[in-house]
Amino acid sequence: MIMVTGGAGYIGSHVCIALLDAGFDVVVVDNLSNSKRTSLDRVQAICGRSISFEKVDLRDEKAILRILRDFDVTAVVHLAGLKAVGDSHENPIGYYDNNFVGTLRLVSAMKTANVRKLIFSSSATVYGNPSYLPIDESHSLAPTNPYGRTKYFIEEMLRDLHGSDNDWSIAILRYFNPVGAHESGVIGEDPSGIPNNLLPLVAQVAIGKRKQLVVLGNDYPTHDGTGIRDFIHVVDLASGHLSALNHLKGPGILTTNLGTGRGTSVLEIVQAFESVSGSAVPHTIGDRRAGDVAACYADPTLAADLLGWKSTKTLVQMCADHWRWQSNNPNGYHPPTQPTSERDAPT
Ligand code: UD1
């Protein structure tokens, strides 16, 4: 049985599909602070298999220990965490508590239960401003915001844990920019409030929920002046977790990027999305966002060498799948708003 923390979320729901399809049993632990239980109903429908679910916060170490034992967990895929850079500046205590302390309690419970296999969701944000491109795993680590530092400190803690007890088997996966959705179009990213990331914003503009996209800077030293990122299809990202799990046969610790190695600019995303969706994405040029870098993309060689994993999906597939999810579910997992009285009913 594999425990997936944060399994009801955007990446988690796709990881659950990869695990179920590979024949693993899954128990999801999620406090639903930024996710919906419905996503798991849909995962079960896609896979034709059931998932166990526990609405538990990771900081509740007793509850985690109970789940590890009751479900006979053999490995944990740990994705739960807060991830909004802006919020992390305003609420560092909350971020350290949720992300760092949550992970600390998790590994403490794992140690007690003698479960020593862990896959951890880290981020390319741990590298900070790239000093060269593409970024490989030996690039220096200098995250530029509290969110990124929670990921960095967790990585350090896991390295210390392995240093103290070589029986641990740990994979640290540094994600680049996950986008897209399962090709069924029934699960996908459902950001609460105003999305922070580019693809959800582009999709909401394309469907008419937002008037326009503001391109945050067109004076970067890139070919079209807009920011360049390594967008990776979330289904590819999910399969990277499966590869890591299959690779972790014995004790050890590995750290690897999960990216495509290809950089795509903001304007290239807008164009690809327009042509796939057939909808216009009106946009204006705004100021740069504080903390943004011109370009960031992965060297994915190590993941290929270590895990035998490579991304397979194209930019067109990323946009098409993102669009299918968005257009089939304009309100995400929320049901469409019902008229509350006769007066509001459509005529
Ligand atoms: C952001 C986070 C990063 C996190 C990553 C993935 C910041 C500073 N960094 O990175 O820590 O790991 O998401 O979740 O928030 N853009 C626009 N208009 C918009 C929004 C974005 O032009 O309204 C541009 C950005 O300037 C950037 C690109 O789109 O060039 C991608 O932005 P985003 O999706 O927020 O990802 P990152 O900046 O890579």
Predicted confidence at residue 271, as pLDDT, reads: 97
Annotated active-site residue 132? The verdict is no
Q: How far apart are CA 36 and CA 10, in angstroms?
A: 10
Task: For residue 197, report the distance from its CA to the centre of ligand 1, in Å.
Answer: 5
User: What is the rounded (10 degree) CA torsion for 111, 113, 114, 116?
Assistant: -60
- At position 279, the amino acid (one-letter code) is S
The answer for residues whose C-beta is within 8 angstroms of residue 152's C-beta and 6 or more apart is 126, 141, 143
**Residue 275 φ/ψ, nearest 5 degrees:** -75, -35
Nearest partner of 182 among 275, 48, 50, 320, judged by Cα: 320
Q: Which atom of ligand 1 is nearest to the CA of 228?
A: 30
Omega prior to 200 cis, within 30 of 0? no
- State the pTM of this model: 0.95
- At position 37, the amino acid (one-letter code) is R
Q: Which atom of ligand 1 is nearest to the CA of 84?
A: 15
Q: Quick one: 171 exposed, middle or buried, by C-beta within 10 A (0-12, 13-18, 19+)?
A: buried
Q: How far apart are CA 43 and CA 309, in angstroms?
A: 23
Tokens of 243: 């590869």
Q: Which domains does the chain have, with CATH numbers?
A: 2-179+231-258 (3.40.50.720), 198-229+262-303+312-328 (3.90.25.10)
Task: For residue 138, report the distance from its CA to the centre of ligand 1, in Å.
Answer: 23
- Encode the chain (347 residues) as per-residue pLDDT tens digits: 999 999 999 999 999 999 999 999 999 999 999 999 999 999 999 999 999 999 999 999 999 999 999 999 999 999 999 999 989 999 999 999 999 999 999 999 999 999 999 999 999 999 999 999 999 999 999 999 999 999 999 999 999 999 999 999 999 999 999 999 999 999 999 988 889 899 999 999 999 999 999 999 999 999 999 999 999 999 999 999 999 999 998 899 999 999 999 999 999 999 999 999 999 999 999 999 988 999 999 999 999 999 999 999 999 999 999 999 999 999 999 876 554 444 444 43
Tokens of 60: 């509740």
Predicted confidence at residue 291, as pLDDT, reads: 85
According to the 3-state scheme, what is the secondary structure of 258-274?
Answer: ECCCCCEEHHHHHHHHH
Spatial contact of 264 and 226, defined as CB atoms under 8 Å apart: no
Ligand 1 pocket by Cβ (under 6 Å): 83, 85, 123, 125, 148, 177, 196-198, 201, 213-216, 227, 229, 266, 289, 291-292
Q: Is the dihedral of CA 6, 177, 147, 90 positive or negative?
A: negative
User: What is the rounded (10 degree) CA torsion for 276, 282, 285, 290?
Assistant: -70
